[in-house]
Amino acid sequence: MTKKRVGVLISGSGSNLQALIDACAQPNFPAEIVLVISNNADAYGLTRAKDAGIPAHILNHKDYASRDAFDQAMHQLLELHLADIVCLAGFMRLLSDGFVKNWHNKLINIHPSLLPSFKGAHAIRDALAAGVKITGCTVHFVRAEMDSGPIIIQAAVPVMQDDTQDSLAVRVLEQEHVCYAKALRWLAEDKLTIVGEKVGVSN
C-alpha cells in the first residue's frame, strides 16, 4: 500500500496531532505524517512530533512581510516533503486564498462545533452562551472563508447543565480525535467525493 503523505500545521499543544500520529502508527492506516509545521516555537506539538520521529519545522509568521509570504514558505516546505494532504490541527492563523487554492480538496480542518454553528476561536464558549443542548465537532475541507467548506464528518456531544468551558471542551476533544482519524483515512483512501460542496463517502 502506498501511503498518502501528510503535513500537519499546528500552533499549540497538538492533541489532535497526537491522535493523527497514533492513527498513522496503525499498520493498515493509509497515510503517514511526513512533516509538522508550527508558527509557534513553544508549541508542545513540536515535542510530540519529535517523540514520533517526524520532521518538525518552526516558521514564525512574524518573520515574514505578509500573510502571503508566510503561506508561500509553508507551501514550499510541504512541497519539499512531497505532501499529498494537509491537516490543520489547532493552527491559529487564517490562511491566504492562494494557499487554500493550492491545496484545494487536499486541506482539512477540525473545529470544535457542529458547523456552520459557532465558527471562530471561541466555539465552546459561544455554544455554552447560546444555551444549546447539543454541540460537537466537525472535520471539513478548507475554503477561503474561515470555518467553512464541505463537511466530511461530525459528532454530536450533549451539553450538560453544569458544564463549564473546560468540562465541555474535554468531551468535544475526545470526539475530535476519533473524527479526525476517520476523515483522514477516508481522504487518504480516495473515498470522498464532493458534489455541489457536499461530501459523499463511498464504502
Out of 57, 61, 111, 122, which one is annotated catalytic? 111
- The Cα 63–Cα 85 span in angstroms is 25
Is 181 strand, coil or helix?
A: helix
- The Cα 74–Cα 30 span in angstroms is 24
Q: Which amino acid is at 176?
A: E
What phi, psi does 19 have (nearest 5°)?
-60, -40
Report whether 201 contacts 104 (CB < 8 A).
Answer: no
Cell of 99: 494557499
Report whether 172 contacts 148 (CB < 8 A).
Answer: no
The Cα angle at residue 67 between residues 11 and 143, in degrees rounded to 5: 75
Does the active-site annotation cover 122?
Answer: no
| Catalytic machinery residues | 111
